[in-house]
Amino acid sequence: MTDDARADGSDADLSGGGTEADDARLEALTGDGPDGAPVVALDASALMAPVEANLRLFEELDRLLGGYDAVVPTAVVSELDRLQGGNGAEATAASVGADLAGRAEAVATDESYADDALVELVTEGRIDGVVTNDRPLANRVLEAGAPVIGLRGRNALAITEP
């Protein structure tokens, strides 16, 4: 997502700054994790953001959500593996992303395409939200009824509700 823009194209401050509205946004992400924490799925763009957008991904998730459980579909891991085989900045970002994916639980889906795997996790109710900077994916996740956590500003994350 671009600076100050929601995936649906409207502008809103979703920075989780502690207001009642921010608290209500976090309610959408109260979760089904083993400890009651929200379960969020990470896509390749989120995992590559530390290199591409100078984002401290897990620190930002901690700031925004407090406790959470992170998962990564195996299709996303495969996408990162494929991308890191190339050259240049994208390969470097994918290599870092693949390393960061190890901090999350890998989950299997029936889908082999990463975006479809993330939407499957949403529609099956296996996750509470998706972390992505991919606008088309964000729109699909929102349409499926789950919140999206994406880049807002230069290096902060924000929640967009469906």
Q: Considering the domain 35-160 in this protein, what is its CATH number?
A: 3.40.50.1010
pLDDT tens-digit readout, 42-52: 999 999 999 99
**Residues with pLDDT less than 50, the chain:** 1-26
pLDDT at position 54 = 94
- Between CA 127 and CA 41 the distance in angstroms is 7
pLDDT at position 1 = 33
pLDDT at position 4 = 33
pLDDT at position 5 = 36
Report the b/e string of 23-34 with b at 16+ CB within 10 A. Answer: eebbebbebebe
Segments making up each domain of the chain, as ranges: 35-160
Helix (H) or strand (E) holding 149: strand 148-152
